[in-house]
Amino acid sequence: MPDKRISEDDVVAELRDGMTIGIGGWGSRRKPMSLVRAIARSSLRDLTIVSYGGPDVGLLCATGKVERVVYAFVSLDSIPLEPHFRVARQTGAVSTLELDEGMFLLGLQAAAWRVPFLPTRVGLGSDVVDRQPEIRTVVSPYDDGEELVAAPALRLDAALVHMHRGDAGGNGQYLNVDPYFDDLFCMAADRRFMSVEQVQETEDLRGNGPLQTLKINRLMTDGIVEAPFGAHFTECVPDYPRDEAFQKEYAGSAKSADAWVAWRTKYLDCGGHDEYRKVVGL
């Protein structure tokens, strides 16, 4: 088994301007925030971000990394609308591909299975199809002849996900109630990077939870980053809940340029994940 352990900076070194990057998790839940912050601090630009969006999208928009967002929602859950993403949209700073949540799943699945699209009824009659020429329809070749939406494959240059546990070979395990779509993000991507709360010996993973929790296998990953509190401030139960007070402070930083500079100086410019943990007190 190979040893795929790397650092956040190693991951950033694998990325290039203009790449399409998929980010796992859901809303403000189990987001690979230490990797996201590493990108936010880098010189990368013009990225397309594909995400069931939360503060990952907002933070990368606020730091000017994003050209396009492929999304169905961007939410902080307890704060329904992501304020930095709203600013980016309302100032026209980013373009978007608007998708239905389920169409997004089909796009990842199509990319993972290496087909150009998957057929669905989802999107018919809505402006997702009617006002976005890049989303097209297909006619069933069978006797029904039904016209369906061809949900386009969401092929990713890179995927970033955060799991609870993993091993040096790049197997990963989730311990909360929902795997989200992290395995699909990995399978849809050319380069796959997973942060974990803790790297363990392979034989110790099985004891953490039922067999089904071993959702990410090492065929799906190229690099693993050990990042305790790597999802902070998003939810990563059972290891830690969402840091609501911190999230409120983050959301407040979208209110003015001064507030953003102050937040950025304190929590981003402080340095890498170890420094961040010290500043936050994790």
Do 105 and 184 contact (CB within 8 A), yes or no? yes
Sole binder of another protein in the list 71, 117, 233, 250 (CB under 8 A): 71
Compute the least distance from the CB of residue 65 to another protein, in Å.
18
Contacts of residue 252, Cβ cutoff 8 Å, sequence gap at least 6: 259, 263
Site for another protein in 16-55 (CB under 8 A): 26
Q: Which stretch binds another protein (CB under 8 A): 5-13, 124-132, 193-201, 226-234?
A: 124-132
**Nearer to another protein among residue 180 and residue 263 (C-beta):** 180
Q: Which stretches within 42-100 are classed as H helix? A: 55-62, 83-90
Q: Is the dihedral of CA 118, 135, 74, 195 positive or negative?
A: positive
Output the six-digit token pair for 219: 């065929």
Q: Does 70 bind another protein (CB under 8 A)?
A: no
Sole binder of another protein in the list 16, 45, 114, 121 (CB under 8 A): 121
Compute the least distance from the CB of residue 89 to another protein, in Å.
4
The secondary structure element, H or E, covering residue 173 is: strand 172-173
Compute the least distance from the CB of residue 160 to another protein, in Å.
19
Sole binder of another protein in the list 17, 101, 190, 269 (CB under 8 A): 101
Give, as one character, the DSSP assignment of residue 145. -
Per DSSP, the residues of 14-44 read T--TT-EEEE-SBTTBS--HHHHHHHHHSS-
Partner residues linked to 141 by β-bridges: none
Q: Is the dihedral of CA 148, 98, 152, 223 positive or negative?
A: negative
Sole binder of another protein in the list 89, 264, 266, 277 (CB under 8 A): 89
- In this structure, the chain runs to a length of 282
Compute the least distance from the CB of residue 177 to another protein, in Å.
4
Compute the least distance from the CB of residue 265 to another protein, in Å.
26
List the one residue out of 185, 207, 202, 203 whose CA is nearest residue 194.
185
Q: Which stretch binds another protein (CB under 8 A): 1-9, 10-18, 77-85, 160-168?
A: 77-85
**Nearer to another protein among residue 10 and residue 178 (C-beta):** 178
Q: Which stretch binds another protein (CB under 8 A): 4-12, 102-110, 111-119, 248-256?
A: 102-110
The SS3 assignment for 119 reads strand
Q: Does 133 bind another protein (CB under 8 A)?
A: no
List residues near another protein by CB under 8 A.
26, 71-75, 80-81, 85-86, 89-92, 95, 98-103, 105, 120-131, 144, 146-147, 177-181
